[in-house]
Amino acid sequence: MVVFSRGYSNSMDRDYKLPFSADDNELGLPLNDIGISAPPMQEPLQGLKSKIFQGASRVELGFMGRGKGSLQQGATTPELFGKDERQDVRELADFNKVKLSVHATVATGSLAGFGEHGFDEQARETALHEIERAVDFAADTTHGGAVVVHVGEWQRPIMEVAKRFEQGTAQRYGGTLKGYPTEEEHATFYVVQSDTGQVQALRRDMKVWEPIKTGEYAEVPNPEEPNKPTLMPIYERNSDGTLKLNEKTFQQIVGDDRVNPKVETKGKTDEEVFVQHFYKTRITQMHAEALRWTQESGLYKRQKDAAETGIREFHLAYGVDPNRMDPSAEERAKVELSIMGRSDLNDDKKEELIRHYRTLLESHTRANTEIPWMEEAAVAYGKQVKELEYAAKNSVSMEHYGLDKTADTIARAGMMTFDKTRQMEQKGVKVSENLYIAPENLFPETYGSHPDELRKIIVQSREQMKNMLIRSNIAPQKADELSKQYIKATIDVGHAYTWKKYFEAAHPGMSLEARDKAFNRWVVDKVGQLAKDGIIGHVHVSDNFGWEDDHAVPGQGTAPIKEFVEKLKQAGLKDVIVEPSHHDFRAVLGGWKVFGSPIYGLQYAGRPQSWTDIEHSYFGRTAPPYFLYGEAAPRPDEWILWSETRLE
């Protein structure tokens, strides 16, 4: 008999209340604290029934689809299942004393609304609607608990995580996180325009060429403020008159600005410092161009004024309309003939006057042609200065922009769980615990997967929900308490363990075995601290080998699952869901076995029952079971419910 949680133990039991030690290979976690997720590609009632037959006392129902679902294609969504089906799910769980939780579709998308074209508010609203559909389903099928949602918000370099969260890790654990070998030089990073959500991708290996200043400045007239000339730096030049340029890398620019700030650096990431510097350089260039074309236009205006004065004098002297600055050919010929007809001038003087007249006309024509486009150029460069200044002001890192959006989405979903919980109570539904939003860490390559990123998401989401509750006339202290009840993280130990591929030994001579042990200490401590600090409310368990989330049977990979669960157990967490893959029922057995649930049964062939006997007799095998399962083994002659699930 597999023994569920009881109020007593005997000499055959492992006392699961004892603290875990290296010599104790069993946690003794009660079976009613260990659940399993139902296949999210199929109808939830059938999935629940199959898990009940496997003996699960907790089941997590999930979905795969988005928008309009399709059961035939496995793209399940909550709204494929109506009121009657939802009631069937709740009653089936109640009859068999099974606790349910719900996983929102894995196709929710970024909760910040990040997509191919940057951050989009409509995409964020759609993601929220997918979560709300799951909350609505949970309110109709469960008695409270977790509504899980993935948080894989946007890509960012692994080195960014290491820089921000891993100071001292190498000294404490003997290793630290690192992406690919040249990530420091070649990683792509992103900045966001906070007003539009538009994303710009930049590379850390991009070069910037800057002119070399002599240290001297020249006064340049400022057309907008004639009494305040602009001081423009004088730059070094090559022998051919071109500017001397100095090549700078990302690291050099950031390092120089950190030491001798040319832009605001306090509280800014390296990427933000670089972008601010990049914009400042371009602003200086555009400002210089605007001034240059303003000056050129001014020169031509003065030439035009001088030409008009000279032309007017000629026209007055030789009988042409003085206001005609663009005389016709006949009028020009009249002026020139008049000059040629003067008897008081010699021929050289006459030729000189004619050349001067023609020069004035050409100068006036050229000025009329040049001035408009020069002024347009000055205006265009001036506009670019304003646009660049605006862009620089609104350029922020992905986290500075996206975290607020993610937290707002979660907080709004948390408010829905708050409202739905009260609605369930008003309808007379027995609520064993409130519904709550449970953001789940995803994969290392995306924001939200690192334990400290997950912490930031939960803390900021709770703060935003607290403010929403306060605006609903709830006292601040009560609002703070409620936000912690309605927003709690899901920690997926399989996802967390895939950070192993990015954990690098701090010392070249460290063996692989020592590195793996160092990583295990690091990741278990990280998760344990989240649990200790009240961040976690729900747990997903699967195993892997540190590369990908392949959902191996618990105990069949290399993840330190027992150590994980012991940390969580010490923090009072008991809501554990084993996530199977192709192996299905073996995941259930693996979970029971690795967590140390005791098993009793009759001796067979001179030996006691074992976990192998369970697998090879109860779960679809031909050998008859020699044990009891649950409170009593289901028998074919027992009364069958309309759901076709036998009473246990």
Q: What is the DSSP letter of 628?
A: -
Q: Looking at per-residue confidence, does 410 or 254 come out higher?
A: 410
Report strand pairing: 114-115 vs 213-220: unpaired
CATH architecture of 31-180+397-608: Alpha-Beta Barrel (3.20)
Angstrom CA distances, 545 to 154, 202, 305, 428, 497, stand at 24, 33, 82, 46, 8
Q: How confident is the model over 437-492, as pLDDT tens digits? A: 999 999 999 999 999 999 999 999 999 999 999 999 999 999 999 999 999 999 99
> Looking at residue 12, what is its pLDDT?
38
Where in the chain are the domains? Answer: 31-180+397-608, 609-648
Listed in sequence order, the residues at least 6 apart from 528 whose beta carbon sits closer than 8 Å to its beta carbon are 567, 568, 570, 571
User: What's at 318, amino acid-wise?
Assistant: Y
pLDDT, average across residues 176-191: 89
Cα–Cα distance for residue pair 238/218, rounded to 1 Å? 19
**What's the pLDDT band for 11 if we cut at 50, 70, 90?**
very low
> Looking at residue 92, what is its pLDDT?
95
pLDDT, average across residues 70-99: 94
Q: How confident is the model over 350-376, as pLDDT tens digits? A: 999 999 999 999 999 999 999 999 999
Q: Rg of the chain's alpha carbons, rounded to an integer?
A: 38
Tokens at 30, concatenated? 């009660």
**What's the pLDDT band for 631 if we cut at 50, 70, 90?**
very low
pTM above 0.85, yes or no: no
Q: How confident is the model over 277-308, as pLDDT tens digits? A: 888 888 888 888 888 888 889 889 999 999 99
Q: Within 13 Å, how many C-alpha atoms sit on residue 205's CB side?
A: 7
Report whether pLDDT(640) > 60. no
pLDDT, average across residues 38-45: 90
Highest-confidence segment of 27-36, 91-100, 181-190, 248-257 = 91-100
Range in 12-16, 42-46, 190-194 with the lowest mean pLDDT: 12-16
Report whether pLDDT(316) > 70. yes
> Looking at residue 369, what is its pLDDT?
92
At residue 53's C-alpha, the angle toward residues 623 and 633, to 5°, is: 60
**What's the pLDDT band for 25 if we cut at 50, 70, 90?**
very low
Report whether pLDDT(7) > 60. no
Tokens at 118, concatenated? 């940057």
Cα–Cα distance for residue pair 482/466, rounded to 1 Å? 8
DSSP letter string, 20-61: P-TT-------GGGEEEEPPTTS-HHHHHHHHHHTT-SEEEE
The residue length of the chain stands at 648
Beta carbons of 548 and 2 less than 8 angstroms apart:
no
At residue 451's C-alpha, the angle toward residues 449 and 454, to 5°, is: 65
Chain centroid to Cα 617, Å, comes to: 47
Backbone angles phi, psi at 628, to 5 degrees: -100, 150
pLDDT, average across residues 218-224: 68
> Looking at residue 261, what is its pLDDT?
67
User: What's at 135, amino acid-wise?
Assistant: V
Cα–Cα distance for residue pair 538/60, rounded to 1 Å? 11
> Looking at residue 549, what is its pLDDT?
93
Cross-strand bridge partners of residue 101? 60
Listed in sequence order, the residues at least 6 apart from 248 whose beta carbon sits closer than 8 Å to its beta carbon are 207, 208, 209, 210, 256
Cα–Cα distance for residue pair 308/319, rounded to 1 Å? 16
